[in-house]
Chains A and B, each alone.
Chain A
Amino acid sequence: MADITYLEAGRLALAEEMDRDPLVWALGEDLGRGGVFKQYDGLQARFGANRIVDTPISESTIMGAAVGAAMSGTRPVVEMRFSDFALCAVDELVNQAAKARYMFGGQTRVPLVVREPIGMWRSSAAQHSQSLEAWYAHIPGLVVTVPATPADNYALLKAAIRSDDPVVHMEHKNLWALSGPAAESDAPAEFGRGVVRRAGADITLVTWSATVWTALDAAAALGVEGINVEVIDLRTLWPWDRELVLESVSRTRRALVVHEAVQAGGFGAEIAATIAEELHHRLEGPVRRLGAPRAPVPYAPPMESELKITAGDVCKAVKVALGR
């Protein structure tokens, strides 16, 4: 099967959905020029300026307009460039998009997707590097997707566009160029289905987004030392695949959650707590978490690296968990 990049996979998913449904449209800054990362390249020429809309730098209104347009029967795809900028539109997402269906008693639906790229990327520093997925997973009403592969970016973005509920689709900026197998079919993904990326018997490592690759590197290195790590890629954080995680940990009896986001108050805490609540008699050691220190992301490469979770960090954490 032909390979495709993570970036192209997202573009393909959007274009196919726009072909399929004339009420799918996208809005954000500089989309006509392809968007900041070129995720929208060529789409305005193909679909016109009324469906690939270049907006003012007005994040509140980009998101708020999407809410109104979604409530009025269309399917907007919102581009926020960086999840950091989406903070200018938190009311519109959290108080409006996530609440309208509920507080209006089911009279309306808000089928919008917001693309919020996350992650550290080339010294982008404190205001262009955050991974804020836990914030949105915390909000009732929102779906949160965090694809790690091109095939998943394609299938999850399609699912997000077809969802009748608002979805925060978080692509990782370091994965844009990642090339990999295309999706096996044009079917949208199912939310809440994680996948075992590597089977193992000694410990379950739960992760998502770009950190999946770090975890797989660590697992490969540990394999050489005879430590068998199972790596689960959650793919979506809300809903998240509890069954898959609990089944795996009940076999391996040890668990480590790894994410790029700040560890304190991160989504790893939710997973760790769930494992502890459900399986504590079966565990052979405490559930552990590995995430970033609670510091803003710095600019200089040595400092940025200091905050990044590396395969070496994961190996160390696994060994601590195994008591080696």
Chain B
Amino acid sequence: MTGGQNGATAATASNHDIPRLTALHGLMARIRAFERAAETGQSRGLVLGAVHLSIGQEAVAAGVCAQLRRDDLLLSTHRGHGHTLAKGADARAMMLELLGKAGGTSDGRGGSMHIADFSVGMLGANGVVSANIPIAVGAAQAIRLKGSDQVVACLFGDGAINRGPFMEGLNWAKVFNLPVLFVCEDNGWSATTRTSTLTAGEGAAARARSMDVTAIEIDGNDLVAVDEATREAVARLRAGEGPILIHARTYRLLGHTASDPAGYRPAGEAEERWSGDPMRRNRALLEAAGVPAAELDALEQAATDEMTAALDAAEAAPWAPAALALEDVQDAGAPARFWTREG
């Protein structure tokens, strides 16, 4: 694996595909700006329910999803805005969904925790920790049955590896040799508890290896490392080599949800971790490689403008119609009101 584990230097930067990393920087900026807008939206009472932000984890989303084709499939978690954007979903429709407005990706029936865009192969965020893993395995089984060369990426947190579906799903993917890229986005926390205090052994990679699943450990805040590890892994998956797990260590810079001040963290921890912010690191790499700061400023500003406009547009949009509450439940035995409001 190439790529700076400890931040980039000018010497290594010149080895990289700078235009690609610049584009990915723009993608990370869009993810961050989307989430900052969502945070603003929540503080103003526009975005409802629990909103889990991935600020500080953008390199995993951008580096993994940008290596996928549009027809590859993606399964995500409650912290899934970044993954969904990186897979190519429309930011405006996503913001409409977060506000429960008409035109949202799921017509206002899902919200942040169930963000999904099937048109780009994003088969859903999931409100149940670990539940996306068996679903990903089944999506890969469908790919096998249909004889296509698509792959499935499944992202989950470090807390998710302590539920049974993680063990079941990895075992299954291995015994059936399925093209699933498991990505453990290890941000150090399971809600408000440090995951290391809850997990026996060395964690995701070690558990994967115990089942003979190839595991790659990377610095998840290093965009280059994520990008390159994923490129290699996806190539191997497409070649039929069976499942691979990427254990990407990153850090959740904010609280568990947008309304969580994270007072349980030791003083200074987050401040220190901001220095490893993947946006900042990648920017340093790009500047060292000669990308003008003004160009990067423009990228970041464009992202902020785009997402501010998305929030404003969503605020102005009408609610998703109430009548949709009874649609898309099921065909046979679909719900009816048992009394009428008028009656």
Contacts of B144 in A (CB 8 A): 50
Contacts of A51 in B (CB 8 A): 145
Cβ of A63 and Cβ of B134 under 8 Å apart?
A: yes
Also in contact, A140 and B138, with CB within 8 A (given A64-B165, A100-B124, A105-B107): no
Cβ of A61 and Cβ of B172 under 8 Å apart?
A: yes
A289 to B146, CA, bound (A): 49
Cβ of A68 and Cβ of B332 under 8 Å apart?
A: no
Determine if A106 is an interface residue (Cβ-Cβ < 8 Å).
yes
The residue that A74 contacts in the complex, of B75, B119, B136, B142, with Cβ under 8 A, is B142
A116-164 at interface with B (beta carbon < 8 Å): 140-143, 163-164
Cβ of A67 and Cβ of B330 under 8 Å apart?
A: no
Contacts of B328 in A (CB 8 A): 101-102, 105-106
- Which of B53-61, B108-116, B249-257 is the contact stretch? B108-116
Determine if A239 is an interface residue (Cβ-Cβ < 8 Å).
yes
Contacts of B133 in A (CB 8 A): 61, 64
Output the least CB separation between A242 and chain B (Å). 10
Cβ of B333 and Cβ of A238 under 8 Å apart?
A: yes
Cβ of B134 and Cβ of A60 under 8 Å apart?
A: yes
Also in contact, A141 and B330, with CB within 8 A (given A25-B145, A72-B73, A107-B118): yes
A79-113 at interface with B (beta carbon < 8 Å): 91-92, 95-96, 100-108
Contacts of B110 in A (CB 8 A): 103-105
Determine if B123 is an interface residue (Cβ-Cβ < 8 Å).
yes
Output the least CB separation between A133 and chain B (Å). 14
Question: Beta-carbon contacts of A58-72 to B below 8 Å, as 1s and 0s?
Answer: 101101111111111
Cβ of A141 and Cβ of B139 under 8 Å apart?
A: no
Contacts of B335 in A (CB 8 A): 140
Contacts of A74 in B (CB 8 A): 141-142, 145-146
A100 to B105, CA, bound (A): 13
Contacts of A240 in B (CB 8 A): 333
Determine if A73 is an interface residue (Cβ-Cβ < 8 Å).
yes
Give the interface residue-count category, chain A.
Answer: 35 or more
Contacts of A238 in B (CB 8 A): 333
A26 to B171, CA, bound (A): 19
Cβ of B131 and Cβ of A64 under 8 Å apart?
A: yes
Question: Beta-carbon contacts of B308-343 to A below 8 Å, as 1s and 0s?
Answer: 000000000000000000011111110100000000
Cβ of A76 and Cβ of B146 under 8 Å apart?
A: no
In this complex, what residue of B is CB-closest to A62?
B134
Cβ of B114 and Cβ of A104 under 8 Å apart?
A: yes
Also in contact, A68 and B142, with CB within 8 A (given A92-B131, A105-B105, A105-B107): yes
Contacts of A174 in B (CB 8 A): none
Could you list which residues of chain A lie within 8 angstroms of chain B, going by C-beta atoms? 23, 25, 27, 50-51, 53, 55-56, 58, 60-61, 63-74, 76, 91-92, 95-96, 100-108, 140-143, 163-165, 191-192, 238-240
A-B contact pairs, 16 of them (CB 8 A): A23-B146, A56-B175, A60-B165, A64-B165, A68-B75, A68-B123, A69-B145, A72-B73, A73-B146, A100-B124, A101-B329, A102-B109, A106-B106, A106-B107, A106-B327, A192-B332
Pick the 6 closest A-B CB pairs, nearest first: A64-B134, A68-B138, A239-B333, A105-B106, A65-B138, A72-B142
